Each structure stands twice: as C-alpha cells, then as structure tokens.
Amino acid sequence: MTNKSKYVGILCAVLSAVCYGTNPFGALPLYEQGVNTATVLAHRFGLAVILLAVIMVIKHIDFRVTRREFKVLFSLGILFAASSITYYQSFHFMDAGIASTILFVYPVMVAVIMATFFKEKVTTMTVVAIVMSLVGIGLLYKGGAGGSLSVIGIVLCILSSLAYAIYIIVLNQSNIKMSSFKVTFYAMLVCEITLILYSFTSPELYLHALPSTRAWSFAVWLSIVPTILSLVFMTVAVQHVGATPTAILGALEPMTAVAIGVLVFDEALTPRLMVGILFILTAVMLVVLGKDLHLRTITHAVSRLWHWR
C-alpha cells in the first residue's frame, strides 16, 4: 500500500464517519412530524437509489453485474437494512447521541471478527480496547436524569452495530471490483425492497406520504449525506486501507451525532456520559495503535491535507 493510497483511505474513512453521524439530524425532525421508522427509511433509500441511478447514467457506469457480484451486493443490502432499521428504532428509546455512541462499538466487533474468522493477530491493545469499550457502554447506561436507559434501546443499538460491522467485513473480504457508486446503488436497492417488506410486519409500520415540504427536505438530506456520501466514501476507504482501520476511524461518528444532539436538539451531555464516550474513543485509539495504522501516519495525513487546502 502506497502512502498516497493510505491518505486517500484515511480521508474517505473520516468523511464517511462524519456523514454517517448526521443521521439524527434528518431522522428526528421526521419523527417529530409523526413519520414512522419504515417510512423514514423507505424514503431515505428510495431517494438514494434514484439519485445513484442518475449518477451512474451520467458517468456511463454499466448496471450489469455477475451472479457472484449480485450475491455480495444482496448481502450488503440486507445487512445495511438490518443495521438501519434497528438503529432508527433505537431513537424511540434513547437520545440520538447516546444511541450513536453505543453504535460505535462496531470497530471493536470488526477487530474481533477479523481475528476470529480471518486470523488477524489479536494484540494486547485490542483486548484492552474491548474491555474499555464495554466499560464505556456501562457508563452510558445511566441517562442524563439518573434514570436507566432502555434495555430495548441498547439491544437495538448493539444489533445495529453488529450488522454494520459485518457489512464492512463482507465489503472488504469480497474483493469486489466495481465503482463505489455501483456498489452503493445495488446495496440501497436491496435496502429499499427490504424496507417495503418490513413495513408489512406491523400495522404501525405502514408506509405513508411525507406530510410537508420540510419533511421532504430532511428525507433528501438522509438520502444524500448519511447514505450516498457516507457509503461511497466508506467503500473507497475499505478498498484503500481495509476493514479494521476504516471502522476505527469511525470515531467521528458518535462525536458528530453527540454534537448534533447537544447543539440542535438540546440533549443533555452529563459528565458521566462524557466519561463513557471518552472510554469508547480511547478504546478505538488503542485499536489504532495495535494495528499498522499508526498515529504518525494520521498526523502526516492531516499535515498533507492542511497544505492542500
């Protein structure tokens, strides 16, 4: 791997994390207008599919895929749909900033799965990082008013994290060679079909039209920023630096979501929650130090990007 390739991967991983962390900014206002989870996600993925199809036509990207490629893309779509459904449902049980922070255990899950099933070396730092992440989640278990967070919300976030971790690993291990726009298009197409089927599982999840122009603006935001941009950047990042570094650099996801929660939605940021977040982010940095992606590389990348401004 060349330094240039590593810089591109790091930059795309950071951009992907920041974009994905803006999910609450689009989802919560839609919930406030009475839009249910299935409808929010169906519009998010549906609009993303349309926009990606237009981009592919403009860029003359071939829509054809092989049987092997379709199997991989189908798996990615199912995994991302599962991650999104459980993540968005968790917003009904806890603050979005806390949900996004719990979701961030997925880098640790990626490291564990890669070590268990793909024989990546488990370092002492990785083990310590796992313990610290669990301590961080334990600290998050008490909300801003001192009351316990919903167990259902925590379980939904962990399931979402696991599905997202497997998504990254499948993308990495498949070695699929195609445009990041094409990968994202088919993954989102499968997501949309899955969401439509999901809407039939409960009378409360029926799909309905968005109630206002403002609601449509938030749906467009969700389709572009935390969906198209985030997934396209992540695909490029995985191709350049691999699954584990890409997941680890997702540290900016909870930071972005917490910032949005505090600045936009007036969510409480207590000292206990701050310590919990600090534990989780420290765990991630330990994983970084235990891999071949060192702080020196990140510092060098930041320096190069600063001079490119």
pLDDT digits 0-9 by tens, 68-94: 999 999 999 999 999 989 988 888 888
Average pLDDT, the chain: 81
Residue with tokens 């060098």: 300
Q: Which residue, 214, 102, 211, 118, is CA-closest to 164?
A: 102
Given pLDDT bands bounded at 50, 70 and 90, which one contains residue 302?
A: very low
Cβ-based neighbour number of residue 307 at 10 Å: 7
- How far apart CA 237 and CA 247 sit, in angstroms, is 10
Across the chain, how many H-helices and E-strands are there? 15, 0
- How far apart CA 163 and CA 171 sit, in angstroms, is 12
Which tens digits make up the pLDDT trace of 21-38? Answer: 888 788 889 999 999 888
CA-atom Rg of the chain in angstroms: 19
Confidence at residue 83, expressed as pLDDT on a 0 to 100 scale = 93
The token pair at 89 is 């449902």
Domain range annotation of the chain: 3-308
pTM (2 decimals)?
A: 0.78
3-state secondary structure of 148: strand
Is the Cα dihedral 261, 20, 280, 102 positive or negative? positive
